[in-house]
Amino acid sequence: MAKKPPSIFSRRSFIKTGLVGVTAPFLPSRSSRGSLEVVPNEIVRPRSTADQDWKQIRSQFILDQDVTYMNNASLGMPPASVVRSVHQGYKAISNEPLHGKHDLQNVILDKVLPGLTECFGVSKDEIVLTRNASEALHLQAIGLKLNQGDEVIITTQEHPAGLRPWMFRKKQDGITVKPVFIPSPLTSVSNTVSRIADSISSKTKAISFCHVTRGGHLYPVKKLAQMARERGVISLVDGAQAVGQFPINLNDLGCDAYAASLHKWILAPSGTGFLYIRKEARERIASAFSPNESLVVSEYDPPGTKDFPVRVGISVALDFINSIGLDLIEKRCRFLSDHLKDGLRQLERAKILSGSTHNLSAPGSTIFEIEGLDAMAAVPLIEEKIRTHIDEHQRDGHNAIRVSTHIYNTTAEIDRLINALT
C-alpha cells in the first residue's frame, strides 16, 4: 500500500504551522518566483478604542490605501490570514485531491465546529454549517411543521431572505404570514416586544425576526424568545448582521433557531454560515434531507460536496476575532459609529434613523436620511468622488444611506465621508 504523502493541511502540520493559530495569522508576500509565502505577524490586542491603537490590526488586512470600505454589512473584508488559509486549502486539494480533502474535513471537525460551539455557547449537536444565513433561514422556515391556517409573525424590517421562504409556505401550505410594523428608529425595547406580543393570536405558531436588521436596529432577542416560549410559540432568528459585532451566547438568548452568516462581521470567507437549532425545538422543525423523525443535527446539513478550503477559513477568522476579543471589537465598532453619528448631527439636513441608545442600535451599522438627497443616486456618486464604499437603505418609505464600519476603519475615513455629505 502506497504511503500517504504529507499534506500541508494534515492535523499536525496545520496546527504546527500556526495557520489557524491565535498568535500567528499570516500576511501574504511575494517570493522571487511570484508565489505566495507565509509571513507570520503576531496580533497585538489594542489597549483602547482610539485609532492609533488599531494600526497594527488594520495592517492585517489587504487594503488598497486609496479605497475606504464602509459596507461591511453587505460583505466583510477578510484579513490576510483568512485569504492565505483558503489559498492553502485549495493547494492541498490540488496537490493530493483525496488526502487533501480528508485533511480539510478533519480540520473542520477538529477546529471549525468546536470553535463555533465555543464562540456561541452551543453544543456540537445543535449546529451545522451552511453557505450563508439565507440558506439557514430557508432551512428553518421550510422545516417548521405548520398546517393550513397556521400563522407566522414577521416584522417589516426583515431581509428578503427572511421573508421569501414564508411567502412560499403561504402559497404552498396555506399558512398566514402576518407582518408587524417596527419603526425606524426603534423607540424602546418594551415597544418592540409589545408590538410583536400584541400580534400573537391563537393561530400563531412562530415569530421570525432579525437579531440586527439590515439598518442596524438591535432587537431584544432574549425577551422576545422568552415571551414566545411562554405562549407556546417558536422563535426563529436571523442573525446575519449580528454575529461578530458583539458576544453572543445562543443558549442564553433562548431562541429556538438561529441563522448566521460568517462572511460579514466575523470576517470569514464568502459562502460561510451556520444554522443553530435548539435540541428541544427539533420535534417542531423537520429536515428536508431526512425522513427520520428523531433528528440529529447533522441531518439538517444540506447534502452535496462542500467547499472545504473555504470552510477551513472559518477557523482562521475565529482565531483572528478571538485574539482581539469580541468585547473589544464591540467597543471599537461603537466608538466608530458614535463618531459617525456625532458628525451627522452637525449636518442640518441629516436625520439619524438608527436607535439613539446602544440597547436599540447595533455597534457597526448606521442609517440616516439627508433632506433633499436621493440615496439611490447619491451612493454611487459618493463612492466615485472619495472612493468610499457605502450602501443605500430602502425600508418603510425611508430613502436612507447605510454606513457599516468595522475595526479596520478610522475616524479620518468617517470625517472624509461627512465632508462629502456637506
Q: Is residue 2 part of a domain?
A: no
- Report the alpha-carbon distance of residue 104 to residue 275 in Å, rounded: 21
**Which residue, 70, 90, 112, sits at the end of a domain?**
112
pLDDT band at 288 (very low <50, low <70, confident <90, very high): confident
- pLDDT tens across 343-378, in order? 999 999 999 999 889 999 999 999 999 999 999 999
pLDDT band at 64 (very low <50, low <70, confident <90, very high): confident
Task: Kindly state whether residue 196 falls inside one of the protein's structural domains.
Answer: yes
- 6 found inside a domain: no
Q: Is the pTM of this model over 0.85?
A: yes
Quick one: 184 and 82 in the same domain? no
Give tens-digit pLDDT for 153-193.
Answer: 999 999 999 999 999 999 999 999 999 999 999 999 999 99
**Can you spell out the DSSP letters for 170-186?**
HHHH--EEEEE---SS-
Residue 81 lies in a domain: yes
Shared-domain flag, residues 211 and 259: yes
Q: Is residue 97 part of a domain?
A: yes
Cβ atoms 238, 218 nearer than 8 A: no
The residue-averaged pLDDT of 260-267 equals: 97
User: Are 267 and 335 contained in the same domain?
Assistant: no
Q: Where in the sequence is the domain holding 26, given as residue range(s)?
A: 11-112
Residues 37 and 69 in one domain: yes
> Based on the domain organization, do 164 and 266 belong to the same domain?
yes
The CA distance from 295 to 299, in Å, is 6
Positive or negative torsion for Cα 23, 17, 75, 288: negative
**pLDDT given for residue 38 in this prediction:** 34
Does 4 map to a domain? no
Instruction: Clarify whether residues 171 and 288 are in a common domain.
Output: yes
| Band (135; pLDDT cuts 50, 70, 90) | very high
15 pLDDT higher than 80: no
Domain end point (choices 270, 292, 318):
318
412: in domain? yes
Which of these three, 78, 112, 146, is where a domain ends? 112
Here the CATH number for the domain that contains residue 260 is: 3.40.640.10
Cell numbers describing residue 229? 416560549
pLDDT on residue 305: 87
Please compute the mean of the pLDDT values over residues 29-37 and round it to a whole number: 35
What pLDDT was estimated at residue 3?
52
Residue 159: the pLDDT is 92
* Residues 86, 129 within the same domain: no
Domain check: are 336 and 405 in the same one? yes
Query: What's the rounded mean pLDDT across residues 54-76?
Result: 93
Give pLDDT tens digits for 115-131.
Answer: 999 999 999 889 999 99
Whether residues 313 and 333 share a domain: the answer is: no
Q: Flag whether pLDDT at 294 surpasses 60.
A: no
Nearest to 265 by CA among 340, 343, 320, 221: 320
Q: Specify whether 311 is located in the same domain as 348.
A: no
> Containing H/E element for 158?
none
Overall domain count for the chain: 3
* Same-domain status, 247 and 382: no
Instruction: Establish if 44 belongs to a structural domain.
Output: yes
Q: What band does 292 get if pLDDT is binned at 50, 70 and 90?
A: low
Q: Is there a single domain that holds both residue 40 and residue 60? A: yes
